[in-house]
Structures are given as structure tokens and as C-alpha cells.
Amino acid sequence: MPNYFKPWRRKIGVVTLVTACAFAAGWVRSDIYADNAYISDFLLMSLRGGLYCFYANEALPIQTIYFYSDSASPLRTTDPLRHSDFRGAWNFKCFGFGYGIVDNGGFCRVPYWSIVIPLTLLSAHLLLSKPRVKSEKQTADSLR
């Protein structure tokens, strides 16, 4: 068993699996709570099974952010993009992905499933696949 985690691919597989689990936890949490992070002109929000990124041409007032969500209490608001300011603002919507442009900036949405499923499949491949065995010819060539 100690040799199981010796190859780099197994170590990367564990890191990938932990990352997939963190995103899956965010996915479940996003149905109950709206979490957000405000970084200069960007607002990153976890809401209703997706990650939203709002960006503005100028700094958003902090009141605008609190209008969309309240991370300290259970989710009481609907999807912020259904608010009257955002209705009809979608330029593209397909399979949970989407983006749109509003007067002072824009927004995009990436669903959690599009992050969790590929990370889980990659980690399964890295952890469950058999390591390659070096042939004697390759070993002899490397010794020369």
C-alpha cells in the first residue's frame, strides 16, 4: 500500500478528488445559502446550483451586492437574474451556462455540474488506472 501513492498521477488524483468534493459541497450549499465574494469590480456568487460572476465597468456600490444575497441567513431571495433589472438581459442560455450584458457591466453563469463531473472522472482515471510498467528496452536505453 505505501507504493500506491508513489507515482505523481496518484497524488494529483487525490488532489483532484478533494477539489471535486469541495465543489460538490458548494453545489449542495448553493440551494440553501447564497455565498458571495466581492473583489474590486467583480462579484462571485454561489447560488441555485451555479457560480455567477458579475462584473462592472465601474465599482459597484456595496448596497447592490447585499440586494442579491445574504450569506448569514437561509436563502430568501430568488435568482438575482430574474430581478427586473436583469429580465431579458441574457444573451446566451444553454444547459445552465449563460451570459448577458446590462447597462453598467455584465454577468455569466457556470453550473456546478460542469465542474464536479469532469473533476470526478479525471480523479477516478488517475486513481484507478494501472501504472505503466517500463520495458527492459527503455530501461537499458536510459542506462547508456
Tens-digit pLDDT profile for residues 39-67: 777 788 888 889 988 887 765 555 444 43
Average pLDDT rounded to a whole number, residues 92-114? 85
3-class SS of residue 30: coil
The DSSP output letter for 82 is: G
What is the structure's pLDDT at 26?
Answer: 92
Rounded Cα gap, residues 114 and 95, in angstroms: 9
What is the structure's pLDDT at 68?
Answer: 43
Average pLDDT rounded to a whole number, residues 123-128? 92
More confident residue, 131 or 121: 121
What is the structure's pLDDT at 13?
Answer: 92
Alpha-carbon torsion, ordered 4, 8, 13, 15, to 10 deg: 110
pTM for the predicted model, two decimal places: 0.69
